[in-house]
Amino acid sequence: MIEIIPNWHPIFVHFTLGLLLTSTALFFFGALVHERPVGAQATMVARWNLWIGSAFAVVTVAAGFIAYNSVAHDAEAHAAMTIHMRWALGTLILFVIAAILAWRARTRIVGIEPLLALFLLAGAGALLITGWLGAENVYRHGIGVMRFPQVEGPGHSQSHSEGGHNPAHTETQTMDHDH
């Protein structure tokens, strides 16, 4: 298998986020415009996004579990990873239930049933929190990051928009958090 450094989880997570959030939005859009032909089309596309997104969610959580057990981390990062993993499992459960409810209501041409709406809203909220926690793991705790750029010298503590980027500076030492 092709080795992705450090693992496959970051690749799958973006499909999961995109498909499931799009599905949720399309279900509600379909319900909003239920009397127009686009309402039925939106509902059908929402179902497919939900089913495919839920399948990706299973793969994403599996890849995340592999990452959880294989990436280098300290005690603080481990605690953050554990919280992220628990949110991910809860989110997966919400969307799998939503996918089952959508399958059971697949003959409904347009709109959304109240129970499905509840699971989609709860799932979308949980998904956003899970994604935020995952981003915190990478950007705050450095999980899965192979190196941090050295931040030193004039202009290197500024953002790109402030004109602080120097493409000639290519040192590969670890980041000094005191700057």
Task: Give the tens place of pLDDT for each residue, 114-125.
Answer: 999 999 999 999
Q: Are residues 31 and 108 in the same domain?
A: yes
Residue 42 lies in a domain: yes
Name the 3-class secondary structure at 150: coil
Domain with 164, as residue range(s), is 148-179
- What's the CA gap between 101 and 139, in Å, rounded? 36
Q: Are residues 130 and 82 in the same domain?
A: yes
Residue 77 lies in a domain: yes
Q: Are residues 119 and 66 in the same domain?
A: yes
Query: Residues with Cβ < 8 Å from 19, sequence gap 6 or more?
Result: 49, 50, 52, 53, 56
Residue 2 lies in a domain: no
Contact present, 117 and 26 (Cβ < 8 Å): no
Q: Are residues 103 and 172 in the same domain?
A: no
pLDDT in tens, 133-145: 988 877 777 676 6
Q: Quick count: other Cβ atoms within 10 Å of Cβ 165?
A: 12
Q: Are residues 161 and 98 in the same domain?
A: no
Q: Are residues 110 and 165 in the same domain?
A: no
Residue 84 lies in a domain: yes
Q: Are residues 51 and 19 in the same domain?
A: yes
How many domains is the chain built from?
A: 2
pLDDT in tens, 61-93: 998 888 887 777 777 878 888 898 999 999 999
Residue 1 lies in a domain: no
Residue 7 pLDDT greater than 50, yes or no: yes
What pLDDT is recorded for position 168? 46
Q: Are residues 102 and 71 in the same domain?
A: yes
What is the enclosing helix (H) or strand (E) of 91?
helix 75-104
